[in-house]
Amino acid sequence: MQQSRSLIPGLPSRTHYAGGMVIVDVALLPIRVGIIGARVTVMASQWARPDGPIRRDNGLLDMADVMVGKHGVAEQVMTLLSNPYGPVALLRAITSATSPERPLGRALQPGGMVDNAFDDNGLVDKVFQSGGIVERVLTENGLAERVLGLMENLVSIAPTIEGLQDPLARIESASRYITEAAEPLTDLAGRLPRPRFPKVGWPGAIRPDDLEVAPVQTPVARPSKRPPAK
């Protein structure tokens, strides 16, 4: 029979039955379960205190409420996913637009427009190759340099344009004064009597409307007296 150190003073050491069961361990099992239960109870009471990790501000309860509570993260995610204009609908629209039956899908397929553009000697190579559009734009006296020169000219004449503001304002003020001064003259001209011119009588009291126009007679072609050609 095997002997070992006693777990509790005053108790015999481990004694094994023929089946291998330890009598002392079986006897101490309820005590150990009680100790574990007491520790769990003490720990739970500490956690459940108002200042404990569960009930304190920003504690586990608040974190759980933020996740699964009203207007929480879970509810917002479900609302976003169920939104007909949300990311799910956007993904469906992108998938539908890039399907092989749609023009965009055919352009993205091998041999399509995009593939041909990025192929060797394609559109992209022609744009960035030597003598291409980019080089012609960025070269000396190219489009970019001309645009910058035009902007410099506009910036240089800006002070001149600012200097014209005062004369233009004075001209506008003078035109307003002239308009205000001309309004009384216009009213006065409207009140003046109009001159009456004498009527001119036609000779014989015949008006131009009474004159009759003689019809134009068309001359009648006469037969020729020349002898017929032989």
Taking only the tens place, the pLDDT of each residue in 64-111 is: 877 777 878 888 888 888 887 878 888 888 888 888 888 888 888 888
> Which range has the worst mean pLDDT, 34-43, 134-143, 150-159, 181-190?
181-190
CA distance 4 to 148: 97
37-to-29, 31, 44, 55 alpha-carbon distances in Å: 12, 10, 10, 22
Residue for token digits 């990790």?
Answer: 53
Continuous segment of H or E residues that includes residue 216: none
Residue for token digits 């469906």?
Answer: 92
| Structure tokens belonging to residue 5 | 């150190």
Residue 88: which of 73, 78, 103 has the closest Cα? Answer: 78
| Per-residue confidence (pLDDT) for residue 4, from 0 to 100 | 46
Q: How confident is the model at residue 18 (pLDDT cuts 50, 70, 90)?
A: very low
CA distance 196 to 74: 95
**Burial status of residue 72 (CB atoms within 10 A of its CB: 0-12, 13-18, 19 or more):** middle
